[in-house]
Amino acid sequence: MHAFTQMHIALIPVLRAELGLDILTIGLVASIPTVVNALFTIPGGLLADRADRLKMIAAGLIVSGAGGALMSQANSAAMLVVFVSLFSIASTLLHPPALSTVSELVEPRFRGKALGFFGSAGTLGIALGPITLGILLGTVGWRYVYLMWAIPALLAPFLILRLKLQKTEDSNGSQPGNRPSDFHMLRNMSLILVLAILGARAMGGNAINTYITPYFTDWLKLDAATAILIFGMSPLIGAVASMTGGFMVDRFGEKRWFAIGFVSQIAALLALAFSPNIGFAVVTYLFYAFFGSMEMPAEQSLIAKLTPKSGRGLAFALSFLPGTIAGSFSPVLVAFVVGGLGIWYIFPYAVAMFAAAIAILGLLWKRV
């Protein structure tokens, strides 16, 4: 499923030429599916706490496979929006039950490592989509790449439904009779602060992810295939970073590792913005991607720590909501920034958002 996540973003330079997309339309293609994601996020989390989680994961894979098959036939901006929105729906079906299941399969002292490996698998999939696009774009074309990835997505549910899981107990475990109310979950101030941090991070990260390939092609004068390959390398490196972050979370704690991730991303973006040449720009961009994925296990471990496991489906679903809300308007907002000031200004915009996330983390520090 994750292979589809950023393929349409990586294809922006190609789609812009092939379908005649302008900057505002590109922003809408990036943002409208996140609105769909926001609408389905909380229902998906509530369902994950009540339904068979493996069946939900299988359903998410089926929807993503259908989206991949349909994307191979897209020939307008409207079709892009509708078909990419299927990947958003698939994400809300898969992520809350999958993260809840992973957090329950291991003891709390190993949770960071488990979530790190889980995140690594996802980022590896995110990487493989753009990488295969970059390799096959000049031969079979992007439509057949979508069709190629639809096949394993449609076959995987048959394997998922054959799994048998053994869960562990933890200090936040709860018995069937004392499930926390959904309203009580929404009043957890520490969880609210985590969600605010994730919202600020999403505002900054979305600006970079949406416009980095046009930055490579327009500002650095790279060809589209090379820009897509570089874009695809970032989550590939992120797969290693997620595992690294998982080990470090268990050793040093969630808050400290979260802070290190934000500071490192700011430093990498500043270096990228003032890169003296293409080689240095590529290296600093990959460092930025590494640190971004490195903090993911810290985020997920904090959420698991703050919530009882009977309500973790909703909690993990809520953790995606700030990103989807920010993503629903951030690409359009940044489109106006890019159109008015130039594409270089995605960097100070993103740095400001990450700095805001660090400030909110300071408020959370003494509460956890």
- Among candidates 257, 258, 261, 273, which has minimal Cα distance to 208? 273
Rounded Cα distance between 305 and 112, Å, is: 11
Q: Are 193 and 364 in contact (CB under 8 A)?
A: yes
Match 């951030």 to its residue by tokens: 330
Identify the residue with better confidence: 148 or 170.
Answer: 148
The string over 297-311, giving b where at least 16 C-beta atoms fall within 10 Å of a residue's C-beta and e elsewhere, is bbbbbbbbbbbbbbb
Angle at 237 between CA 234 and CA 240, to 5 degrees: 150
User: Which residues make Cβ contacts (< 8 Å) with residue 279, sequence separation at least 6?
Assistant: none
Domain ranges of the chain: 2-160+179-367
Q: Copy the structure tokens of residue 10.
A: 């990586």
Top pLDDT among 34 and 36 is at 36
For 312-340, write each residue's pLDDT tens digit.
Answer: 777 888 887 787 777 667 777 888 888 88
Residue 226 tokens read as: 């090379």
Check residue 168 and give its pLDDT: 54
Rounded to 10 degrees, the C-alpha dihedral 190/192/197/199 comes to 170
Instruction: Locate all alpha helices (DSSP H) within 76-188, ordered by sequence.
Output: 77-105, 111-136, 142-160, 182-186
Q: Report pLDDT digits (tens) over 106-148.
A: 777 777 888 888 878 887 888 788 888 888 888 888 999 999 9
Q: Looking at domain 2-160+179-367, what is its CATH homologous superfamily?
A: MFS general substrate transporter like domains (1.20.1250.20)
Angstrom CA distances, 206 to 61, 78, 224, 249, 322, stand at 24, 21, 20, 25, 12
Q: Stretch 287-305: mean pLDDT, rounded?
A: 85
Q: If you average pLDDT over every residue of the chain, what do you get?
A: 83
Q: What is the DSSP letter of 219?
A: I
C-alpha closest to that of 18 among 141, 135, 133, 150: 141
pLDDT of 177 reads 41
Residue found under tokens 């996020």:
41
Q: Which has more pLDDT, 13 or 350?
A: 350
pLDDT of residue 175: 40
* 204-226 average pLDDT score: 87
Q: Which tens digits make up the pLDDT trace of 193-206?
A: 888 899 899 899 98
Mean pLDDT score, 267-283? 91
